A and B are shown apart, each in its own frame.
Chain A
């Protein structure tokens, strides 16, 4: 993507992704990446996400 270091927030990811898409001449990707950012935000805030400070049931994450 041409970016190596950025703050690991969705906002920073989106800015970097849009910048990279524009650099590659894919300006039509901007609204699609904005949509993806909203989906990623939903994914990251879902209540079933793992929390490394708490309990973890491996059986919940391997399809058993």
Chain B
């Protein structure tokens, strides 16, 4: 199996019809991992024996007529922040080198009950505290299309594992964009549901009030399949695609479209043209205080991250990678008064995003302002100015962690070098199923030929 692997929806039909077996599919994934992981470094651990046992069991059950659903027998990877019973949850850090999970995270338990096959745990930016995946105790994960580049982060190994055909989907986490950024960088679909909708229990936190979990996969339909399993409700399934005519999307131009790599801007405007041609109404909208989002996000995320890590920063500071240790230490200097200010700003932004969605089906904007950056670069030139890579990667996504609105990335084109570019669709709070339905409807227009 290679990078042109089928979607879960396609594979599950073949598995259910017994046109192939879970063992055969897993075998192709394991061969791909053996061939490619030494270069891409997507996996921290591979569960070959356990995965083979899960696949054999899936084949037995399907043959016996006990088909569990569209994840039954499907190989997926898990970001190494989620507890899987009996294995280490390293968070890509030496701080957790002696950890062994006693039980599955609730999200993992649901995936296991649905018959998913866990091929292994994926590399990430240490403790999910970065956007490039470069700071990991296991070395950087690399972009499948160009190993000199980052696959994005922090769920970089997850994105690389799916994009390179090592598995069919991955579970990631998203505190400022860590599902959507690597999905955009690697040409995948990445879903961050509404804040608090899916439990983060059993997942190593970065920032308690900003953390989300969600899938990275090859199509919006696949995102819906995983979302249905994760929320524990299969009826009704996520909305099917609808007629595009009559849909209205808001385009928040200020801030989100003012500082973009020219190729990203071009691909996004082309996607807008295709949406208009499909009969979708696009309206400019304003989030008046979105320019304050970086300061708001920073004070919340720094404080909450520092609080979680304070004890180990004192006890074993040298077990952190230097950059992650410094960012965590920075958070220990934020004053409580400023954290409280940031919480008030968060409410302001939440209400302003709510207002832009009134009378509209969703917001449409880029997912990442730049294509996948070269590993080792800390700044990138955009609009004639050197900008920090980290802030450019977070720029389009972090707002919706602060406000809690569900958001999904869809590939919308490629750079001249062939690097993927992603668009982002944002829905109403509590409306993740509706967002998935909207995304399925517009997916063929957003990026024809770029997602499955």
A13 touches B299 (CB 8 A): no
Select which of A26, A42, A61 is within 8 A of B347 by beta carbon: A61
Given contacts A32-B330, A60-B348, A60-B351, contact A43 B299 (CB under 8 A): yes
Interface positions of A from 1 to 42, Cβ below 8 Å from B: 1, 13, 17, 20-21, 26, 28-29, 32-33, 36, 39-40, 42
A33 to B302, CA, bound (A): 12
Give the CA-CA distance A51 to B171 in the complex, in Å. 43
Q: Which of A33, A42, A46, A49 contacts B333 (CB 8 A)?
A: A33
**Closest CB in chain B relative to A61 CB, distance in Å:** 5
Q: Can you give 16 A-B contacts (C-beta < 8 A)?
A: A1-B332, A1-B333, A17-B333, A20-B333, A26-B326, A28-B322, A28-B326, A29-B329, A32-B330, A36-B302, A36-B333, A39-B298, A40-B335, A46-B292, A48-B344, A48-B345
| Binary per-residue interface labels of chain B (18-44) against chain A in the complex, 1 for a CB within 8 Å, 0 otherwise | 000000000000000000000000000
Q: Is the CB of A46 within 8 A of B347?
A: no
Which residues on the A side are within 8 Å of B302 (C-beta)? 36
* One of A13, A33, A43 near B295 (C-beta < 8 A): A43
User: Interface size for chain A: under 10, 10 to 19, 20 to 34, or 35 or more residues?
Assistant: 20 to 34
Choose from A1, A36, A43, A63 the contact partner of B330 (Cβ within 8 Å): A36
Chain B 306-336: CB-based contact to A (< 8 A → 1; otherwise 0):
0000000000000000100011011011110
Given the known interface contacts A36-B302, A39-B299, A60-B351, the answer about A44 and B341 at a Cβ–Cβ threshold of 8 Å is: yes
* Residues in A whose Cβ lies below 8 Å from that of B294: 39, 42
Digitize B281-314: 1 where CB-to-A-CB distance is under 8 Å, 0 elsewhere.
Answer: 0000000010010111011001000000000000
B350 interface contact, C-beta 8 A? yes
Q: Is the interface of B mostly helix, strand, loop or mixed?
A: helix
C-alpha spacing A21/B434, complex, angstroms: 48
Contacts of A47 in B (CB 8 A): 289
Enumerate chain B interface residues (CB-CB to A < 8 A): 289, 292, 294-296, 298-299, 302, 322, 326-327, 329-330, 332-335, 338, 341-345, 347-348, 350-351
**A binding-site residues for B, Cβ under 8 Å:** 1, 13, 17, 20-21, 26, 28-29, 32-33, 36, 39-40, 42-44, 46-50, 60-63
Query: A44 contacts which chain B residues (CB < 8 A)?
Result: 338, 341
| Contact flag A63-B347 (CB < 8 Å), given A39-B295, A46-B292, A46-B295 | yes
Query: Given B326, B329, B333, B342, which contacts A43 in the complex, CB threshold below 8 Å?
Result: B342
Quick check: A43 and B292 within 8 Å, CB to CB?
A: yes
A32 to B323, CA, bound (A): 11
From known contacts A43-B292, A43-B295, A43-B338, infer whether A63 and B329 are also in contact, taking CB-CB under 8 Å: no
Contacts of B289 in A (CB 8 A): 46-48
Q: In the complex, A46→B348 CA distance in Å?
A: 11
